[in-house]
Amino acid sequence: MSKRAVLLALVLLQPFSLAAQVFEDVSVASGFEPAFLANIPAGGIAVADFDRNGWPDIFVSGYFEANRIYFNQGNGQFQQSAAVNLTLPGSKCSVARCCRLRQ
6 located within any domain:
no
Confidence (pTM)? 0.59
What is the tally of structural domains in the chain? 1
For 51, the domain range is 29-80
Sign of the alpha-carbon dihedral angle for 88, 90, 92, 95: negative
Q: How confident is the model at residue 55 (pLDDT cuts 50, 70, 90)?
A: very high
Are the C-beta atoms of 44 and 34 separated by less than 8 Å?
Answer: no
CA atoms within 13 A on the CB side of 4: 0
CA separation for the pair 60, 96 (Å, rounded): 7
101 located within any domain:
no
pLDDT in tens, 60-89: 877 667 778 889 999 989 998 865 556 555
Q: If you write DSSP's letter for every residue of 58-95 in order, what string do you get?
A: EEE--SSSPPEEEEE-SSS-EEE-SS-----TT-----
Residue 46 has pLDDT above 70, yes or no: yes
CA separation for the pair 64, 75 (Å, rounded): 31
